[in-house]
Amino acid sequence: MPRKKTETPISSEPVNISELDIVSTLETNYMPYAMSVIISRAIPEMDGFKPAHRKLLYTMYKMGLLTGGRIKSADVVGQTMRLNPHGDQAIYETLVRLTRGNDALLHPFIDSKGNFGKQYSRDMAYAASRYTEVKLDAICAELFKDIDKDTVDMVDNYNGTMKEPLLFPSTFPNLLVTPNQGIAVGMASSICGFNLKEVCAAAVHYIADRDCDISKYLLAPDFSTGAQLIYNAAGLAEIYATGRGSFKLRAKYQADSKNNCVEITEIPYTTSIEAIIEKIVSLVKANKIRDVNDVRDETDLKGLRITLDIKRGANTDLLMHKLFSMTTLCDTFNCNFNFLVDGRPKTMGVKEILDEWLRFRTSCVRRQTAYDIEKKTAQAHLLEGLSKILVDIDKAIKIIRKTEQDRMVIPNLMSGFNIDQAQAEFIAEIKLRNLNKEHILNRVNELESLNKEISELKEILGSDKKIEGIISRQLKEIAKKYGKPRRTEIISEEQVIEIPDDALIEDYAIKVIMTKHNYFKKIAMSSLRMAFEQNLKDDDRITQEFETVNKADLLFFSDKYNVYKVKAYELADCKASSMGEFLPNMLGMEENERIISMAATTDYTGFMLFGFANGRVAKVNMDAYATKINRKKLVNAYSDKSPVVYAGFVEQDCDFLAIRGTDKALLFNTSLLTPNAAKNGMGAEVITLRKNTYMTYLIPAEQYKCENAEFYRYKAIPGLGHFIPLPERAVNGLTKPNG
């Protein structure tokens, strides 16, 4: 039977919906997430590791992989999931970066076998975890040194089934040795790696003298990919002092003049082979680099290599300097030494980092010493009990034999020799064969050396100086055992040849063309040898064309009194068969704005000439449009007081004809004009106008067709001009006024 439909009456009362407080909502829901990312994921701590690294390495340590052979990476990943609840792929990616095969670290923590990709290659994929094998590298012994002696705090894992360390008791400042980058919420860290020998030397000298000059021992960052570091003393001093700053890394190359090629063998740590090759290819296609015929990735088992085939006779050093300025073959590493200190993010300079690490390491040594004292004291206490039965071994045996109940053995020994329960249990557990005078005497003789060790340990525990001595000694041993030569070469800024920007631009002859419909072409003169006819739209025509060079500045004057400036080399070359670029799109012009004139200059000599309908002509020096910064647009490029009838570049003073309407002309030389003080000035009156008449044309004298141009000459301006014969008007197309 169908259920009877019931209707809910709609109340006429307004529903009162309480508004959510967005601030409290964000604090409740977002802040815990942000803090989790900062503390538990992205920012490294005093041992130089993020939690994901630490969980992986500790799992491998507990699996016994510090000794013995390698095992499958898949097994390690699976075991790590007991500590790290993230997916297996995320864990494996963490493992890959720590391996020797990936080349991301100067001192890898994982000894690997198989394909782990390369840090310097974006596309060189690593093999699946079932195909690769790993174990802990020898240097990991320094990370876990005395970890089982209560040197660091141990906490429960995510489900409370096992313990894991909050930090590793690393015996060297790994936070300066291992490069690390992380993006948290509202903050990030970017830590460059340093050479282990240099870090240990700096730490030793800092322990001895807190005011020492760190830069004497910590020369500069060092990276697994090598390359060259351009040394800037002020820049590195800022990084060392504040933990923030940047420095430049540059690729290493060698030229092979015999085979006309350049081999790049080391690249900056911050880039990849693919990024470099893609950029070079794009530069070649854009005709910004003309000396490269081919670029290849020839990286193999011997190492990285990018080969450039270059044109015969090309200047290799100049080409490489072009590539350094245009590609990531020269790149910047930005430093932000942000670490977690006692659970709080803190940006620190090198000395402050060493100070915090020393405080942490001192705590580890002190805790380890206290642990040893406790264990040795307990052992000495047991041996003291053993020494008491040495005087009457037969009595101890008799007590044990005569005791009828097992539970009474310990109490009877305690009362028989005046010892405590722990001592009695120790004696009771001695094997029957060891209940002889020689064995007990030998054990008791250990008591003296044990008490001496306890005394020495107590002295260490009470002396910061002795603890620092232990730390310094360990640092020296580590530097000797694991230290490697620098990979990144340090070169001074003086060694970097300064090449002017112009030298990096290839200069060659070009022709620039502008059409009535505002299309623009830049054509290399060499390509015009093959094709002379320009391809234009059916109803379009060329209004301006001239030859210049690729290093010239192009100036485009618009009917909205603006001038747009473009470097010729920034524009792509095209062919005669191309339609060209549409200027409004190319220049980012205003709506309904048109270009009326185009000029080119390399030194901003000469001047622009503007003719106005009111009979005035303005002469504006080109240097009025020169700017110190690379501005793309200048406003008020010329006067807006009267319609412009002519705008053009004039290299040096010459003759022009000013034409009133279609009937009168005046020939004058531009030397009669005084350059404008301001580029948007109206200039001087050239031709005198009657009521309701205008200057309709301003024409360069060589473009005007007549038998005797001197007939129109005026040696002073303004002037009334002379009448133009009718046939001459027809020849020059002076039939309709245009203004």
Residue 496's pLDDT is: 81
Q: What is the rounded end-to-end Cα distance, in angstroms, of the chain?
A: 92
The label of the residue with tokens 């001496």 reads 452
* Contact (CB, 8 A) for 533 and 576: yes
Eight-state DSSP code of residue 99: B
pTM: 0.74
Residue 679's pLDDT is: 92
DSSP-assigned letters across all residues of 270-314: T--HHHHHHHHHHHHHTTS--SEEEEEE--BTTB--EEEEE-TT-
Q: Which CATH superfamily is domain 501-731 in?
A: DNA gyrase/topoisomerase IV, subunit A, C-terminal (2.120.10.90)
From the number of C-beta atoms within 10 Å of its C-beta (0-12, 13-18, 19+), residue 536 rates as middle
Residue 59's pLDDT is: 96
CA–chain centroid gap for 319, Å, is 24
370 three-state secondary structure? helix
The residues, any chain, with a CB within 8 Å of residue 678's CB and separated by 6 or more, are none
Q: Of 232, 276, 283, which is closest to residue 251 (Cα–Cα)?
A: 276
Q: Encoding tokens for residue 178?
A: 């291992």
**10-residue block means of pLDDT along the chain (739 residues)?**
43 51 72 70 89 95 94 96 89 95 95 95 93 96 95 92 94 95 83 96 96 95 95 94 95 90 95 95 86 92 92 87 92 94 92 96 96 93 83 83 86 88 86 77 84 93 94 96 95 80 76 93 81 81 92 94 92 86 92 94 94 95 88 92 94 94 92 92 92 92 91 93 91 67
Active-site residue, 697 included: no
DSSP-assigned letters across all residues of 167-236: S---SS-HHHHS-EEEE-SS-EEEE--B-HHHHHHHHHHHHH-TTS-GGGTS-SB--TT--EEEE-HHHH
Q: Report in angstroms the alpha-carbon separations of 354 from 109, 173, 203, 574, 652.
A: 22, 7, 7, 59, 68
- List strands edge to edge, sheet with 71-72: 71-72, 133-136, 110-113
511 three-state secondary structure? strand
Residue 259's pLDDT is: 87
3-state secondary structure 303-347: ECCEEEEECCCCCHHHHHHHHHHHCCCEEEEEEECEEEECCEEEE
Cα–Cα distance for residue pair 712/642, rounded to 1 Å: 25
Q: Report in angstroms the alpha-carbon separations of 733 from 448, 539, 597, 730.
A: 123, 20, 21, 5
* Contact (CB, 8 A) for 85 and 41: no
What is the dotted CATH code of the domain comprising 252-328? 3.30.1360.40
* Contact (CB, 8 A) for 290 and 315: no
Cα–Cα distance for residue pair 115/134, rounded to 1 Å: 11
Catalytic residue among 30, 33, 131, 158: 131
Residue 502's pLDDT is: 65
* Contact (CB, 8 A) for 574 and 521: yes
Cα–Cα distance for residue pair 393/272, rounded to 1 Å: 76
Q: Which CATH superfamily is domain 49-169 in?
A: Topoisomerase II, domain 5 (3.90.199.10)
Q: How long, in residues, is the chain? A: 739
Cα–Cα distance for residue pair 301/304, rounded to 1 Å: 8
Domain boundaries, the chain: 49-169, 252-328, 501-731
CA–chain centroid gap for 603, Å, is 37
CA–chain centroid gap for 153, Å, is 35
Q: Can you say whether the dihedral through the CA atoms of 74, 78, 84, 85 is positive or negative?
A: positive
Q: Report in angstroms the alpha-carbon separations of 180 from 48, 70, 185.
A: 8, 26, 17
675 three-state secondary structure? coil
Estimate the crossing angle of helix 73-80 against helix 88-97, to 10 degrees: 120
**Within this chain, domains 49-169 and 501-731 share the same CATH topology:** no
Helix, strand, coil fractions of the chain, as percent rounded to 5: 35, 25, 40
